[in-house]
């Protein structure tokens, strides 16, 4: 129902963003199928359309001095951090054929459900917080979600881009350079912190498989491409 691509680690953010836009266009034209990209970015702070200036704590020059790229993007949501040890997922999905409907709110809840399901395989209870998007463990946020809905030109319905960022063995100190997602009342955590131990590459690969499995289960009503209608 969708293809999965592992793009590796240390992937430049801007390059992937441009590739997403090109692939969305191909999906719209029926030249590509719905797909899920999994990857880790190099150090990047991204500002979504809802970013408040006070949540970005440094200037672009100061971020650059720390080896962090600052990028304004077209997804929803506030500011967040991407970097090594964080599993980023970009579902480029055509929603027009979903049995659940072409529904933006349902799509966000399904992304959360996929993350919660994958975490449960590790014995971890992920939860939602009312009025927020994302997944928490206790009072700390472990996964952020920020998406863009493209209205298809050649079909009825949305095509999605951007997606989720799940902290696995992320260096959480980088989140101190921002107010993550503009939320001050909750902290940020990672899978390694919750497990209270280091995670090796084998476990990172395991989580990729868990995320793929969870996405396939939750989005089981997703058709492969626009042209399948």
Q: What pLDDT, on a 0 to 100 scale, did the predictor assign at position 225?
A: 45
State the CB neighbour count (10 A cutoff) for residue 60.
13
Give the chain's mean pLDDT.
94
Q: At residue 105, what are phi and psi to the nearest 5 degrees?
A: -65, -40
Answer whether residue 155 shows pLDDT above 90: no
Burial code (b: 16+ CB inside 10 Å, e: under 16) for 101-138 equals ebeeeebbebbbbbbbbbbeeeeeebeeeeebbbbbbe
pLDDT in tens, 101-112: 999 999 999 999
Tell me how far apart the 2 most distant CA atoms of the chain are, in Å: 49
Report how far apart, in Å, the C-alpha atoms of 181 and of each of 109, 176, 222 are. 17, 12, 29
Residue 226 appears among annotated catalytic residues: no
Mean pLDDT of 196-208: 97
Q: What is the CATH number of domain 3-228?
A: 3.30.930.10
Gap between the Cα atoms of 19 and 16, Å rounded = 5
- Total-model pTM: 0.95
Q: At residue 228, what are phi and psi to the nearest 5 degrees?
A: -80, -10
**Residue 178 · residue 124 · CB < 8 Å:** no
Q: Which of 108, 181, 194, 214 is catalytic?
A: 181
């Amino acid at each position: 129902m969708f293809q999965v691509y592992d793009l590796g680690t240390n992937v430049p953010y801007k390059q992937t963003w441009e590739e997403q836009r090109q692939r969305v266009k191909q999906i719209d034209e029926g030249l590509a199928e719905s797909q899920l990209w999994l990857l880790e970015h190099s150090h990047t702070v991204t500002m979504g359309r809802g970013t408040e200036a006070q949540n970005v704590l440094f200037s672009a020059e100061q971020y650059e001095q720390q080896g962090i790229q600052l990028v304004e993007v077209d997804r929803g949501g506030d500011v967040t951090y991407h970097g090594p040890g964080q599993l980023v997922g970009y579902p480029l999905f055509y929603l027009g054929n979903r049995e659940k409907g072409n529904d933006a709110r349902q799509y966000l809840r399904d992304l959360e459900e996929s993350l919660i399901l994958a975490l449960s395989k590790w014995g971890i209870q992920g939860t939602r917080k009312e009025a927020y998007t994302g997944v928490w463990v206790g009072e700390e946020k472990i996964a952020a979600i920020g998406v863009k809905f493209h209205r298809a030109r050649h079909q009825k319905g949305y095509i999605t881009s951007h997606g989720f960022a799940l902290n696995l063995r992320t260096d959480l100190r980088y989140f101190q350079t921002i107010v993550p997602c503009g939320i001050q009342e909750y902290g940020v955590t990672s899978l390694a912190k919750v497990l209270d131990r280091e995670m090796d590459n084998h476990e990172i690969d395991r989580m990729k498989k868990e995320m793929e499995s969870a996405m396939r289960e939750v989005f089981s009503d997703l058709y492969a491409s626009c042209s399948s209608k």
